[in-house]
Amino acid sequence: MSYLNLQGIEKFFGDLRAIKGIDLAIEQGEFIVFVGPSGCGKSTLLRLIAGLEHIDGGQLSLDGRDITHEPSSKRDLAMVFQSYALYPHMSVYDNMSFALKLANVPKAEIQEKVTRAADILNLTPYLQRTPKELSGGQRQRVAIGRAIVRAPKVFLFDEPLSNLDAALRGQTRVEIAKLHRDLGATTIYVTHDQVEAMTLADRVVVLRDGVIEQVGTPLELYDKPANQFVAQFIGTPQMNVVNLDQLPLSVRQAAPAAAVGGSIGLRPENVRISEVTADAAGRVELIEALGAETLIYVTTHEGAQLVSRQAERTSLHMGDAVSVSIDASQAHWFDAKGRVVAA
pLDDT confidence of residue 202: 96
Using DSSP, state whether 186 is helix, strand or coil: strand
pLDDT, one tens digit per residue, over 189-200 is 999 888 899 999
pLDDT confidence of residue 13: 95
Identify whether the C-beta of residue 204 lies closer than 8 Å to the C-beta of residue 217: yes
322: pLDDT strictly greater than 90:
yes
Identify whether the C-beta of residue 45 lies closer than 8 Å to the C-beta of residue 35: no
80-96 burial, b if ≥16 CB within 10 A, otherwise e?
bebebebeeeebbbbbb
Sequence-separated (6 or more) residues with CB below 8 Å from residue 205:
24, 32, 33, 34, 35, 212, 215
- Residues forming CATH 2.40.50.140 domain(s) in the chain: 238-341
pLDDT, one tens digit per residue, over 259-304 is 888 999 999 999 999 888 666 788 999 999 999 999 999 998 888 8
Lowest mean pLDDT among 132-141, 244-253, 267-276: 244-253
Identify whether the C-beta of residue 302 lies closer than 8 Å to the C-beta of residue 310: no
What value does the mean pLDDT of the chain take? 91
> What number is the average pLDDT over the span 95-111?
92
Give the class (CATH, top level) of 4-228. Answer: alpha beta
Cα angle 309, 315, 321 (rounded to 5 degrees) comes to: 80
pLDDT confidence of residue 278: 67
% of the chain surpassing 70 pLDDT: 99
pLDDT confidence of residue 1: 60
pLDDT, one tens digit per residue, over 172-221 is 888 888 888 888 889 999 998 888 999 999 999 999 999 999 999 999 99
Using DSSP, state whether 24 is helix, strand or coil: strand
* Helix (H) / strand (E) containing 9: strand 4-13
Q: Does domain 238-341 have CATH number 2.40.50.140?
A: yes
The rounded distance, in Å, linking the Cα atoms of 216 and 228 is: 16
Identify whether the C-beta of residue 62 lies closer than 8 Å to the C-beta of residue 72: no
pLDDT, one tens digit per residue, over 41-88 is 999 999 999 999 999 999 999 999 999 999 998 999 999 888 878 899
- Residues forming CATH 3.40.50.300 domain(s) in the chain: 4-228
The rounded distance, in Å, linking the Cα atoms of 183 and 197 is: 19
277: phi then psi, degrees, rounded to nearest 5:
-110, -25
Residue 165: alpha-carbon gap to chain centroid: 17
pLDDT confidence of residue 297: 97
Helix and strand element counts for the chain (H, E): 9, 19
Using DSSP, state whether 315 is helix, strand or coil: coil
